Amino acid sequence: MSESTPVRRRTIVNKHEISDKRMNDQKTQSQYQPYKDAAWGFINHWYPALFSEELPDQHVEGIQICGVPILLRRSNGRIYAVKDQCVHRGVRLSAKPTCFNETSIACWYHGFNFDLETGVLNNIVANPDSTLIGTTGITTYPVEEVGGMIFVFVREDDFPLDDVPPLHHDLPVRFPESGERFPHPLWPSAPSILDEGAVALGMHRTGQSNWRIACENGFDNAHILVHKDNTIVHALNWVLPLGILPTSDDAITLIEDEDGPKGQMQWLFTDRWKPVLENKDLGLKIENVNGRFYRTSVVLPGVLMVENWPEEHVVQYEWYVPITDDMYEYWEVLVRVCKTDEDRKKFKYRFDHVYKQLCLEGFNDCDLYAREAMEEFYADGTGWDNEQLVETDISPVTWRKLTSRWNRGIAKPGKGVTNATKTSSIRMRRLAEGKAPGYFVEKIDDLNKH
């Protein structure tokens, strides 16, 4: 048997190796380290939790945002949100909703009873004189309901209620008050979900990727290539560019007002951005004829607004709500101000019969799958260092820096919560049953019928 030493091969540099050239060089990356750390999301922000119609009166629902388990209950016209984890032995209260009166939630397992307003442990079913009563409790979360959507302020346990900002700080800029700063000839007054008469129609579903790569897709002006062949584009003969290139330093304006949202506005379809309609070397040319102008902006904690989309007088909002470090709840919402019932009906009809299938599904399905296709590269955390960004990535790079400065907290990795222990056998059993990890709590009564 040969005892020769191992073959030592020459190591020479391959001519075509991946270079270090990129938009996101070391110096740039160091400016958004907090963003790179925010795998579980930015906490102490307002997030959409449910559509109003998903929470009828006396209904209880359990969800998870930024690794925080949250229970919502609507009772007598008021919505409460509290931490969905019993202080006693950690079960999710919403797994088997048990309410003995209109202002409390009880743990179905050992009877700990919590006041929904304050979160305080105010009774124990079989131990009403326990010395623990009144000394402990579960965190409560501020709630706002507007335009058919329920928003929750997801806070750390010790974030002071007195410091909770108003909802509009975590929503896109509004018009007409921002009309002077961000004028547009075609839609001087884009609607807001906060407007009187605003109607929000939409859907939400779980995407199996990190929320950041999901969010960056929304306002990235090169990603629209994935929509090149979409049905809605060709049915309506829209001119959808191959991509949109920044042409000047002020292509993006930061939004950093003291008393308002923090984000960025992109001056699309002005001379600061150039829609690319042809690539001769690759033989590509957009042949459609109907202009379809829009403008995208994004604000913390990851709210996209697409003005004038998918039709006039409508805006599309999107949220990419972190569930864990590798799942997000994808919200797609069309908002229109409807002054009459007739308006509302028409908007609903058009939503149900055109936009839901062809835009929120169809068109945006491509985005959903594109983000999931990125997940493998980013899942172990090394993608953020290895990606090689280019000029069009000015949008995500600006976003990363901005959110690194203005976020109100970086969510800690979930402990003792759903899908935090990736291999727990209860998670494995759900997979075997064909249930992918998701946003909602599984209710015990759906499992157990006796």
Nearest distance, CB of residue 133 and its own copies, angstroms: 9
> Is the CB of residue 389 less than 8 Å from the CB of residue 398?
no
Is the CA virtual torsion 296, 301, 302, 307 positive or negative? negative
3-class SS of residue 290 = strand
Using the minimum distance from each CB to its own copies, give the nearer residue, 203 or 345.
Answer: 203
Least CB distance from residue 147 to its own copies, whole Å?
27
Nearer to its own copies, 47 or 363 (CB): 363
Q: Which residue, 92 or 168, has its beta carbon nearer to its own copies? A: 92
* DSSP H helical ranges for 178-275: 211-219, 231-235
Residue 274 DSSP SS3: strand
**Of residues 289 and 436, the one with the C-beta less far from its own copies:** 436
Considering the complex, state which of residue 344 and residue 427 has its C-beta at the smaller distance from its own copies.
427
Q: How far is the CB of 240 from its own copies (least distance, A)?
A: 11
SS3 153: strand
- Shortest Å, Cβ 438 to its own copies: 9
Task: Pinpoint the alpha helices (H) of 351-424.
Answer: 364-378, 383-386, 394-406
CA 183 to CA 191: how far, in whole Å? 14
> DSSP readout, 9-26?
------TTPPPS--SS-H
Nearer to its own copies by Cβ, of 193 and 300: the residue is 300
Q: How many CB atoms lie within 10 A of CB 405?
A: 13
Distance of closest approach, residue 87 Cβ to its own copies, in angstroms: 5
Q: How far is the CB of 330 from its own copies (least distance, A)?
A: 13
CB nearer to its own copies: pick between 236 and 254: 254
Least Cβ distance, residue 134 to its own copies (angstroms):
10
d(CA 280, CA 278): 6
Neighbour count for residue 369 (Cβ, 10 Å): 12
Whether the CB-CB separation of 147 and 344 falls below 8 Å is answered with no
